[in-house]
Structure 1
């Protein structure tokens, strides 16, 4: 498992992008300057101060180690934790998503529903699933390797994550191992490519990696430049002074 495998699902998107992932470009001008947001609606960064949920040292170390194996740092860009993926997930777990606000979590569980949706049904919230899953992963590695997941060699961490993905590891009652791996993989991808206003994609490293120009007001000025190298500098939702 490596960066390219973790980002494989983005292949179709990157193939259609015609911008370059580096800074210093000359941009097309004459876009609207008078459009302003009411101050109450100006977006503000969601993650300020310390961590709100992922403040248990063992869980945070385990998650950071897993994230950095799913998206390791290399010559193309920073690792997941360097890009702020822990802060991104912490913000999500502290909000409505972490509370399962949009999930139906009433009993009884319906096994046939899982067959129809091809996905497991959960009563636990995403926040609870992360807490239970990280604890179970550490318990499993202590029993089988004599150490926490974060203390293992990178090659061993890769093997464990691969076995989780394939369903070859049972983390115990209350943890759907494959679904827990998939949740971590989705979270680290979202953190790496989200708008920086949500805490991840620090310095827009993920966008620069794939050449995405960011949250721009309008792309109509570039509609007639298909196939051209525009070299647009990524723009975040974070208000600029």
Structure 2
């Protein structure tokens, strides 16, 4: 039976699992999208083409960067997001969808500063089933996590994270997923879940927030976005393919 089971790529998993477009995906809802829960190597683009700082591009992202002042930090983040949501024959990956810029913009605002959470002590170690328990704000968790990914790359492979092969990146990100990396004030697994959720949100959110460039994330899902009305189509007996519409008015 085991030989008859077909490996499922990361993108195929997203496609067949019915992940709700634009929904917030919490830890454990769809499992890890990389590493030991996905086919080795996934469906990412050629590693040599992706490595070397291709992520450091501002084209297609409104407003450029707002949070990351260090190019290398931003490039590490970008490559990590691409491993979680890779480009393939179905469409662009995280970098092509502007997900790193979406995360950058979110960290610069209320999300990164935890403005809607109670952030006063006392602080206790939370259980895996509990929500946000860290004294650190999301922007600090992301920065620490990115720096830890770079440290792991140097320690394991004596290379920068952005210079690694795809499977080497997966090894490091999977170590975070399994809570095998020591972080201060937060569990590595919690950082992984924050990162994974942010990637999916950036891929499927309205383009006005900096991700889902060209509404390509919606197009891959066949999601119509924000239509003013369906009155001219609701009684149709045929399946209607509708060009997506953004709140920002982009087509």
TM interval, shorter chain, is: 0.7 to 0.9
In structure 1, C-alpha distance between the alignment counterparts of 2:185 and 2:163, rounded to whole Å: 24
Larger Rg: 1
Report what 1:119 is aligned to: 131
Report what 2:10 is aligned to: 2
In structure 2, C-alpha distance between the alignment counterparts of 1:116 and 1:150, rounded to whole Å: 30
Report what 1:79 is aligned to: 93
Matched, 1:163 2:175: yes
Report what 1:103 is aligned to: 117
In structure 2, C-alpha distance between the alignment counterparts of 1:75 and 1:202, rounded to whole Å: 17
Cα separation, partners in 2 of 1:239 and 1:165, compared to 1, 3 Å: same
Cα separation, partners in 2 of 1:49 and 1:240, compared to 1, 3 Å: closer
In structure 2, C-alpha distance between the alignment counterparts of 1:117 and 1:223, rounded to whole Å: 41
CA contact (8 A) 1:137 1:171 kept: no
In structure 2, C-alpha distance between the alignment counterparts of 1:93 and 1:172, rounded to whole Å: 19
CA contact (8 A) 1:140 1:171 kept: no
User: Aligned-residue CA RMSD in angstroms?
Assistant: 2.4
Report what 1:149 is aligned to: 161
Structure 2 alignment gaps of length 5 or more: 1-8, 22-60
Q: CA deviation at 1:89?
A: 1.1
Report what 1:188 is aligned to: 199
Report what 1:230 is aligned to: 240
Higher RCO (C-alpha 8 Å, min separation 6): 1
- Give the structure with the higher percent helix: 1
Matched, 1:215 2:238: no
- State the 4+ residue runs in structure 1 displaced beyond 4 angstroms: none
Question: What TM-score, normalized to structure 2?
Answer: 0.73
Report what 2:144 is aligned to: 132
Cα separation, partners in 2 of 1:209 and 1:8, compared to 1, 3 Å: closer
Report what 2:33 is aligned to: none
Superimposed CA distance per residue, residues 112-136 of structure 1 (whole angstroms, 9 cap, x where no aligned partner): xx33953350111111111111112
How many residues are treated as equivalent by the alignment? 204
Question: What TM-score, normalized to structure 1?
Answer: 0.76
In structure 2, C-alpha distance between the alignment counterparts of 1:152 and 1:175, rounded to whole Å: 26
CA contact (8 A) 2:136 2:185 kept: no
SS at match of 1:213: coil
Superimposed CA distance per residue, residues 72-131 of structure 1 (whole angstroms, 9 cap, x where no aligned partner): 1111001101111011111111111111101111111134xx339533501111111111
Stretch of structure 1 that moved more, 73-82 or 213-222: 213-222
CA contact (8 A) 2:136 2:186 kept: no
Superimposed CA distance per residue, residues 196-234 of structure 1 (whole angstroms, 9 cap, x where no aligned partner): 1111100110000010001112234443347x3201001
Cα separation, partners in 2 of 1:64 and 1:230, compared to 1, 3 Å: same
